[in-house]
């Protein structure tokens, strides 16, 4: 019997050793969002628990994963049509199923449990290889990142954590200041697989990088709804990106920028299938009407971000960032229903072509920071103001309060129809 126990101990020994090395940490984050839509006041509360696991198995093997558990309470169903201009809402047809009207344009906040990141990093003498679901963030911009084709930031809270993406990443250092990054992310069709190659280096006083990307880019046609699958049609395109970024200091100012040239390719068979689906859908739903025109996807466009920041001797920090995206329109009369849906689905970064962001931040005390940011669309003259207070109430407890107030006319990028309100968020680290 003692030999059996000895054998069991020997088998469990590696597990016990790894268990002792495995670190657990994370945070609990309750949040309350409130918004006034026309004459009604709504609330949505959430509770988020993030649990991180980290293991330094050796000098060559590193593992990390995190699980997110989120529950929602209050108003968990939001009708998107209430936030959009009436002109664009008229572009969509009335849908019926078995004689009943249905509204597929409802945003649902259902409880979620998901693995956000889980990856292993293998360190060799010549490179690091990271495999699994991991964060992929590119660019030097604060609010907008043209070179980041994997994420989209929220202008109200642009520093909030980004989700993980399933990929294989290879980082090859070249000397002390340079390196090459290569990323492969599989998609449903291998011909559309996401590929990225980036070279970065340092030339005093700037860090530079140049990159080339191939990315599957899907566009939702929210006028075309499959009543059987209960989902919208998505048009697959192949996006090729060439660009770069820089960050450094010039005359005492922090300066940064990004630029990308984008080329969009749609296979002829994909275009044919899409046009056929659109034609058949409207012929069945509204046989006496003329089907709408297919979505217009630009073949070429460019994005540019230029930013600067400065900290005064009295600790006040200011930051300004300009963003141009020629994929978006410069006339709000041309914003379509699908343009708004693409923005809400994070399929595009903006609905308006030219805009500017400004931030002022000051430490009121050692524990309290106050700030106010504003975002202005040069293209349609709409703007929003976002005041914020951050309070480190205890060593492991942070409180954040955001406001969002919009002043644009109906149909503009920052229209008051989006709703004025705010967010109260706490975070308890463990």
| Structure confidence by residue, pLDDT tens digits, 66-110 | 999 999 999 999 999 988 998 999 998 888 777 778 889 999 999
**H-only helix segments in 192-315:** 268-285
CA dist., res. 92 & res. 105, Å (int): 10
Q: Peptide bond before 355: cis, by omega within 30 degrees of 0?
A: no
pLDDT tens for each residue of 192-227 = 899 999 999 999 899 999 999 999 999 999 999 887
CA dist., res. 264 & res. 348, Å (int): 13
Average pLDDT, the chain: 92
The more confidently predicted of residues 226 and 347 is 347
- The region that residue 5 occupies, defined by phi over 0 for left and psi between -120 and 50 for alpha, beta otherwise, is alpha
* Residue of 342, 289, 352 whose CA lies nearest to 322: 352
pLDDT of residue 30: 98
What pTM, to 2 d.p., does this model score? 0.90
pLDDT of residue 336: 95
CA dist., res. 286 & res. 288, Å (int): 6
Q: Please answer whether residues 323 and 144 qualify as being in contact, where contact means their C-beta atoms are separated by less than 8 angstroms.
A: yes
Q: Is the pLDDT of residue 41 over 70?
A: yes
Burial of 117 (0-12, 13-18, 19+ CB in 10 A): buried
- The correct CATH number of 24-429 out of 2.160.20, 3.40.50, 2.40.160, 3.30.450 is 2.40.160
pLDDT of residue 10: 43
Q: Please answer whether residues 364 and 370 qualify as being in contact, where contact means their C-beta atoms are separated by less than 8 angstroms.
A: yes
pLDDT of residue 9: 45
pLDDT tens for each residue of 46-70 = 999 999 999 998 989 999 999 999 9
pLDDT of residue 284: 84
The more confidently predicted of residues 229 and 304 is 304
Q: Is the pLDDT of residue 2 over 60?
A: no
- Per DSSP (E only), the strands in 57-97 are 61-74, 77-79, 95-97
Structure tokens at 274: 């899409």
H/E stretch holding 17: helix 2-21
Mean pLDDT along residues 323-348:
95
CA dist., res. 160 & res. 55, Å (int): 24
The more confidently predicted of residues 189 and 1 is 189
Buried b or exposed e, range 123-157, using 16+ CB within 10 angstroms: eeeeebebebbbebebbbbbbbbbbbbbbbbebbe
pLDDT of residue 19: 57
Mean pLDDT along residues 31-47:
92
CA dist., res. 320 & res. 356, Å (int): 7
pLDDT of residue 61: 96
The residues facing 61 across adjacent strands are: 122
pLDDT tens for each residue of 407-427 = 999 899 999 888 899 999 999
Number of H helices, E strands in the chain: 4, 22
- The whole-angstrom distance between residue 275's C-alpha and the CA centroid of its chain comes to 29
Burial of 15 (0-12, 13-18, 19+ CB in 10 A): exposed
* Residue of 36, 116, 33 whose CA lies nearest to 76: 33
Burial of 219 (0-12, 13-18, 19+ CB in 10 A): buried
pLDDT of residue 18: 54
């Amino acid at each position: 019997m003692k030999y059996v126990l000895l054998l069991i101990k020997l088998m469990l020994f590696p597990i016990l050793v790894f268990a002792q090395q495995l670190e657990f940490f994370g945070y609990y984050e309750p949040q309350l969002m409130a918004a006034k839509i026309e004459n009604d006041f709504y609330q949505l509360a959430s509770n988020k628990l993030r649990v991180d696991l980290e293991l330094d198995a050796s000098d060559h093997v590193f593992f990390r994963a995190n699980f997110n558990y989120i529950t929602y309470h209050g108003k968990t169903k939001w009708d998107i049509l209430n936030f959009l201009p009436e002109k664009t809402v008229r572009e969509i047809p009335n849908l019926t199923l078995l004689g009943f009207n249905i509204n597929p344009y409802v945003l649902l906040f259902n409880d979620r449990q998901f693995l956000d990141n889980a990856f292993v990093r293998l360190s060799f003498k010549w490179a690091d290889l990271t495999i699994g679901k991991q964060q992929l963030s590119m660019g030097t911009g604060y609010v907008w990142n043209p070179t980041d084709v994997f994420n989209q930031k929220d202008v109200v809270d642009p520093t909030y954590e980004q989700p993980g993406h399933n990929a294989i990443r290879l980082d090859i250092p070249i000397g002390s200041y340079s390196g090459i990054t290569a990323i492969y992310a599989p998609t449903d069709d291998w011909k559309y697989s996401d590929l990225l190659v980036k070279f970065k280096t340092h030339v005093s006083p700037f860090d530079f990088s140049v990159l080339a990307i191939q990315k599957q880019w899907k566009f939702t046609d929210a006028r075309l709804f499959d009543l059987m699958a209960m989902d919208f049609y998505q048009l697959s395109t192949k996006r090729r990106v060439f660009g770069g970024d820089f960050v450094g200091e010039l005359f005492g100012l922090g300066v940064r920028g990004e630029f990308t040239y984008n080329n969009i390719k749609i296979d002829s068979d994909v275009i044919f299938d899409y046009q056929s689906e659109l034609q058949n859908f409207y012929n069945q739903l509204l046989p006496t009407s003329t089907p709408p025109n297919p979505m217009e996807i630009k073949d070429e466009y460019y994005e540019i971000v230029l930013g600067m920041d400065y900290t005064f001797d009295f600790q006040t920090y200011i930051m300004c960032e300009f963003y141009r995206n020629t994929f978006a329109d410069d006339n709000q009369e041309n914003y379509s229903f699908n343009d708004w849906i693409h923005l809400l689905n994070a399929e595009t970064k903006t609905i308006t072509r030219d805009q500017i962001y400004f931030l002022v931040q000051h430490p009121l005390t050692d524990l309290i920071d106050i700030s106010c940011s504003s975002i202005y669309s040069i293209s349609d003259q709409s703007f929003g103001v976002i005041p914020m207070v951050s309070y480190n109430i205890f060593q492991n407890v942070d409180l954040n309060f955001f406001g969002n107030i919009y002043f644009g006319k109906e149909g503009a990028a920052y229209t008051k129809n989006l709703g004025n309100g705010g967010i109260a968020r706490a975070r308890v680290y463990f």
